[in-house]
Chains A and B, each alone.
Chain A
Amino acid sequence: MSRISTRFEQLRAAHRTALIPFITAGDPRPETTVELMHAMVAAGADLIELGVPFSDPIADGPVIQRATERALARGVSLSDVLEMVRQFRERDADTPVVAMGYLNPIEVMGYGRFARAAAAAGLDGALIVDVPPEEGHELVQVLRTESVDLVYLLAPTSTERRISRIGEVASGFVYYVSVKGVTGAANLDVDEVAAKVETIRARIPLPVGVGFGIKDGETAARVAAVADAVIVGSAIVKQIEALAETPEAIAPTIGDFIAELRGAIDAADAAANRPEQVTS
């Protein structure tokens, strides 16, 4: 069983919702990333999504675009990101790591080489934003061979047929984009999200994470009530940006924020698991 599946099994058994923070690898500096990953795990992150910098991030809003530009200014490449994962694994054998990025750096590295390097580094999954199932046959094959999960996005506009199609190729978990828009977009409607998550669950036997538009403990708690995982990106990256000139403050500050999100999600999970008579 993959590290991702194992982690979700453990969480399910404990009636807990996963917290998945996203950071861009190498932002604001390559040397801050691994330490920050450990700090996030210590503060309650269950899985880490690591953004691979790309020059043309069409699915990302301004906050993550700027993070990408900071990392690229330091020359952070896909190989560097895999090296960060390898270093992270030296001290953490359990927390799954998923790389999130765009196809071109992988295309240039070569699918086979990427899959082998990813597996060797201890990467557990890849979410390649601009590869829909129709274009991913070869990539799916090589990643399966190396036991690297391929995580897919689902959108509010995804039809039921589309959801089933993605269910055929997805592994690990699926990532539901809660709003029409780019990362860091505005308000999400939890009722709409809940309905769509049910539609997805009926068609895909994998945990469903929800992201885009989760800003604080309150939104995290509301999403936790309907999803298997809460994914938080821009709200974290914005704080990293504010501390770009004082990198030593990043790990403790983000750690505190993760702890706050964790607390809110745990409270929501506890409320959901409380016996009938207490809630009524």
Chain B
Amino acid sequence: MATDADSTRPLSQRAASQGHYDLPDADGHFGPYGGTFVPETLVYALDELREAYERFREDPEFLAELDADLRDYVGRPSALYHAKRWSRELGGAQIYLKREDLNHTGAHKVNNTIGQALLARRMGKTRIIAETGAGQHGVATATVAARLGLECVVYMGEVDVARQEANVYRMRLLGAEVVPVKSGSRTLKDAMNEAMRDWVTNIDNTFYIIGTVAGPHPYPAMVRDFQTVIGREARAQMLERTGRLPDALVACVGGGSNAIGLFHPFLGDTSVAIYGVEAGGEGIATGRHAAPLCAGTPGVLHGNRTYLMEDADGQIIETHSISAGLDYPGVGPEHAWLKDCGRVSYDAVTDAEVIDAFHHLTRTEGIIPALESSHALAYVQKIAPGMRADQSILVNLSGRGDKDMHTVAKLDGLTL
């Protein structure tokens, strides 16, 4: 398995894909994107984090502990599943699902929180903070904090607290304090603002676990490195199962951590087409969406330069998506770069297409996907029929749909 073969290699090399791609540069830039756009009050904390990360990602003891946790606590490697019936119904390419939904806590998020929490402990930090939108990253953070006995505070927009009650309760069960954020649009971006404010205030004992490949350097690279276990496993599994690489990769993109985790080890495989799928909401033309790569413009938010949903005055505008986990006005800077250089194609699907794909997979394969992951599935429904039966698509099924029952039921006129 990929994990075993990798256990002797430092994270920096595990993350590097085949070929010559070695971004970001020393200052965290992916071409014009990324960087460290932060107030001076955060510079010291980021320097400290960068130094620690650069040291521990080469440290065999740290890597052995990380690998053991991914195996015994998360349940890795996650399965690769050939969705034969769904493939047949779509009448084209063979579809393979990378089952991140089977991880502990039900999504890919834990791959990253495990890594950052182990780093926090080695840095001697006793307090963990995080932002969360749908609550998945908050749950994954509260989970690892509970296990390591670290104090945990999760910032969550007041609007999200109200619509994700079950996850709020879950985090509290795990011993985390959930702080509703009442500023701005009271959603994910504001939760991130508040977490940064907490961090500058409590720098001495606090580690900020960012949940996606955004934020200032080194977060986009570090979170990516922790998530590339997805693509490394999947690449080896595809080769073992089918004897060749997939023809296409598909993953949903909010901040973009599950997508970069799958894509990165394939970037040098030029025969593999790569598709990132953003939240088209009610349709790009309506303006009610969360698709900065498809319909946004470059700007600076949360410490990095990337594509943003913003108005003509440079104010960040509110987003809309049926899935709270994609409801973010920015996107990881590496995706911005991969869009500009053309290696990855980004597109969007609408809420209606997402719900259709959600039902389709559930009925044909007995797998209930998260609404975030259903964006990737909706895109597969578009491209698979145009491909041959001897071609294959590898999709990241980044999370399970249990958390979305109330949202889907509501569309059916039911209250759970």
Contact = CB atoms under 8 A, between A and B. Distances in A.
B203 A158 contact: no
B313 A59 contact: no
Nearest to A62: B183
A152 interface: yes
B230 to A, nearest CB: 30
Interface string B168-205: 00000000000000011000011001001100111110
A260 interface: no
A185 interface: yes
B299 interface: yes
Contacts of B13: none
A110 B355 CA distance: 40
Contacts of A204: none
A135 B36 contact: yes
Interface in B298-315: 298-303, 305, 308, 310, 312-315
Given A103-B37, A132-B36, A162-B43, A54 B203 contact: no
Given A55-B315, A108-B310, A157-B43, A135 B37 contact: yes
Contacts of B196: 58
Contacts of B36: 132, 134-135
Nearest to A163: B40
Contacts of B204: 180
Interface string A258-272: 000000000000000
B299 A157 contact: no
A18 to B, nearest CB: 21
Contact of B44 (A104, A158, A185): A158
B315 A105 contact: yes
A192 to B, nearest CB: 14
Given A105-B315, A108-B310, A159-B44, A180 B39 contact: no
Contacts of A132: 36-38, 40, 43
A237 interface: no
Given A105-B313, A109-B314, A130-B38, A56 B301 contact: yes
B303 A181 contact: no
B218 interface: no
A104 B183 contact: no
B292 interface: no
Task: Categorize the interface residue count of chain B.
Answer: 35 or more
A119 interface: no
Interface string A203-228: 00000000000000000000000000
A152 B40 contact: yes
Contact of B37 (A62, A130, A154, A158): A130
B157 interface: no
Interface residues of A, number: 45
B325 interface: no
Interface string B158-171: 00000000000000
B27 interface: yes
A105 B310 CA distance: 10
B314 A130 contact: no
B357 to A, nearest CB: 32
A206 to B, nearest CB: 15
A130 B312 CA distance: 20
Interface in A72-123: 72, 77-79, 102-109
A96 B315 CA distance: 27
A218 to B, nearest CB: 23
A181 B27 contact: no
Contacts of A53: 315
B45 interface: yes
Interface string B14-56: 0000000000000100000001111111011100000000000
Contact of A57 (B27, B38, B193): B193
B41 A180 contact: yes
Contacts of B305: 107
Given A56-B189, A130-B300, A177 B44 contact: no
B201 A180 contact: yes
B316 interface: yes
A106 B44 CA distance: 25
B310 A185 contact: no
A146 interface: no
A61 interface: yes
Contact of B316 (A56, A78, A162): A56
Nearest to B48: A157
Chain B CB within 10 Å, residue with most, of A58, A106, A107, A162 = A58
Interface in A138-156: 152-155
B175 to A, nearest CB: 26
A240 B38 CA distance: 28
Contacts of B200: 59, 180-182
Contacts of A105: 313-315
A129 interface: yes
Interface string B138-163: 00000000000000000000000000
Instruction: Give 3 closest A-B pairs by Cβ, nearest first.
Output: A108-B314, A105-B314, A157-B44
26 contacts: A56-B184, A56-B302, A56-B316, A58-B38, A59-B39, A61-B197, A69-B183, A72-B315, A79-B313, A104-B301, A104-B314, A105-B315, A109-B314, A130-B38, A153-B39, A153-B41, A155-B39, A155-B44, A157-B41, A157-B44, A157-B203, A166-B40, A177-B40, A181-B201, A182-B197, A182-B200
